[in-house]
Structure 1
Amino acid sequence: MSLINVMHLTFGYDGSYDNIFENVSFQIDTDWKLGFTGRNGRGKTTFLNLLLGKYEYNGTISASVNFEYFPFKVTNPEDNTIEIIENIYPDYVLWQVMRELSLLQVSEDVLYRPFHTLSNGEQTKVLLATLFLKENSFLLIDEPTNHLDMNARKLVSDYLRSKRGYILVSHDRAFLDNCVDHILSINKTNIEIQKGNFSSWWENKTMQDNFELAENEKLQRDIERLSSAAKRTSDWSDKVEKTKLGTRDSGLRPDTGYIGHKSAKMMKRAKSIEARQQAAIENKSKLLHNIESSERLKISQVNFHADRLVEFENVSIVYGEKVACESVSFSIEQGDRVALYGKNGSGKSSLIKLICGENINYTGTFRKASQLKISYVSQDTSHLRGNLTDYARDNDIDESIFKANLRKLDFSRVQFEKDMSDFSGGQKKKVLIARSLCEKAHLHIWDEPLNFIDVISRMQIEELLLEFSPTILFVEHDSEFCKNIATKIFEL
Structure 2
Amino acid sequence: MSLINVANLTFSYDGSYDNIFENVSFQIDTDWKLGFTGRNGRGKTTFLNLLLGKYEYSGTIAAKVNFEYFPFAVANPEDSTIDVIENIYPDYLQWQVMRELSLLQVSEDVLYRPFATLSSGEQTKVLLAALFLKENSFLLIDEPTNHLDMNARKIVSDYLSAKRGFILVSHDRAFLDNCVDHILSINKTNIEILKGNFSSWWENKKMQDNFELAENEKLRQDITRLSSAAKRTSDWSDKVEKTKLGTKNSGVKPDKGYIGHKAAKMMKRSKTIEARQQAAIDDKSKLLKNIENSERLKISQLNFHSDRLIELENVSIFYGEKTACENVSLTIEQGDRVAFYGKNGSGKSSVIKLICGEDIAYTGIFRKASQLKISYVPQDTSHLRGNLTGYAQDNDIDESLFKAILRKLDFSRIQFEKDMADFSGGQKKKVLIARSLCEKAHLHIWDEPLNFIDVISRMQIEKLLLEYSPTILFVEHDTEFCQNIATKIFELHKPIK
When normalised by structure 1's length, the TM-score is 0.99
**One-letter amino acid of the structure 2 residue matched with residue 90 of structure 1:** P
Which AA in structure 1 matches 2:460?
A: Q
CA drift at 1:135: 1.2
- CA deviation string 1:8-35 (max 9, x = no partner): 1011111112100000100000000000
Q: Which amino acid aligns with 1:29?
A: D
Give a deviation string over 1:289-313, Cα, whole Å, max 9, x none. 1100000111131111111110111
Cα drift, residue 480 of structure 1 = 0.5
The CA distance in 2 between the partners of 1:41 and 1:459, in whole Å, is 17
Amino acid at match of 1:295: E
Match of 1:464 in 2: 464
Q: How far apart, in 2, do the equivalents of 1:460 and 1:17 lie? A: 30
Query: Does 2:25 align with 1:25?
Result: yes
For 1:394, the equivalent position in structure 2 comes to 394
What corresponds to 2:162 in structure 1? 162
Distance (Å, rounded) in 2 between the aligned partners of 1:383 and 1:265: 72
Question: 1:146 is paired with a residue of what secondary structure?
Answer: helix
> 1:319 Cα shift?
2.1
Q: Which amino acid aligns with 1:228?
A: S
Distance 1:19 1:4 in 2: 22
**Whole-Å separation in 1 of the counterparts to 2:230 and 2:302:** 54
Tell me, in whole angstroms, the C-alpha distance in 1 between the residues paired with 2:181 and 2:207.
20
In 2, Cα distance between equivalents of 1:358 and 1:291 = 44
Indicate the residue corresponding to 1:231 in structure 2. Answer: 231
Aligned to 1:88: 88
Distance, in Å, in 2 between the alignment partners of 1:303 and 1:465 is 16
Report the secondary structure of 1:330's partner residue: strand
Distance 1:322 1:33 in 2: 43
| Equivalent position amino acid for 2:148 in 1 | L
Distance 2:24 2:363 in 1: 60
Corresponding position of 2:306:
306
1:486 corresponds to which residue? 486
| Corresponding position of 2:253 | 253
- Equivalent residue of 1:184, what SS? strand
Partner of 2:2: 2
Q: Which amino acid aligns with 1:351?
A: V
Out of 480-489 and 77-86, give the one that drifted further. Answer: 77-86
Q: Give the Cα separation in 2 of the matches to 1:427 and 1:352.
A: 24
| Residue 317 (1) aligns with residue 317 (2) | yes
Equivalent residue, structure 1, for 2:436: 436
Partner of 1:221: 221
Once the two structures are superposed, the pairs formed by residues 107-146 of structure 1 within 5 Å of their partners are: 107-146=107-146
Q: Mind listing any 5+ residue stretches in structure 2 that lack a counterpart? A: 493-497
Across the aligned residues of Structure 1 and Structure 2, the Cα RMSD in angstroms comes to 0.7
- Name 2:186's counterpart in structure 1: 186
CA shift for structure 1 position 359: 0.5
CA distance in 1, matches of 2:334, 2:43: 40
2:242 partner letter: K
Structure 1 residues 9-62: Cα deviation after superposition (integer angstroms, max 9, x where no partner): 011111112100000100000000000000000000000000001111110000
- Deviation of 1:337 after TM superposition, in Å, equals 0.4
Q: Deviations over 1:371-417 (max 9, x none)?
A: 00000000000000100000000000000000000000000011011
Hey, what does 2:447 align to over in structure 1? Answer: 447
2:98 maps to: 98
1:424-461: per-residue Cα shift (whole Å, max 9, x none)?
A: 00000000000000000110000000000000000000
| 1:404 partner letter | A
The letter for the 2-side match of 1:109 is D
Match of 1:475 in 2: 475
2:333 alignment partner AA: E
Q: Distance in 1 between matches of 2:398 and 2:249?
A: 72
| Residue deviations 1:306-340 (CA, integer Å, cap 9, x gap) | 11110111111122332211111121111110000
How far is 1:251 from its partner? Answer: 2.9
Q: Is 1:45 the equivalent of 2:60?
A: no
Displacement after TM superposition at 1:176 (Å): 0.2
* Paired position in structure 2 for 1:244: 244
Amino acid at match of 2:283: N
Amino acid at match of 2:200: S
Shift of 1:248: 2.6
Write the distance in 2 (CA, Å) between the matches of 1:311 and 1:374. Answer: 15
Q: For 2:44 and 2:357, how far apart are their aligned partners in 1?
A: 39
User: Cα distance, 1:191 vs. partner?
Assistant: 0.3
Matched residues in 2 for 1:169 and 1:253: separation? Answer: 81
2-structure distance, mates of 1:353, 1:202: 37
Q: Distance in 2 between matches of 1:42 and 1:274?
A: 38
Could you tell me how far apart the structure 2 residues matched to 1:118 and 1:128 are?
14
Hey, what's the Cα distance between the residues in 2 that align with 1:385 and 1:184?
32
Unaligned runs of 5+ in 1: none
The alignment of Structure 1 onto Structure 2 pairs a total of residues equal to 492
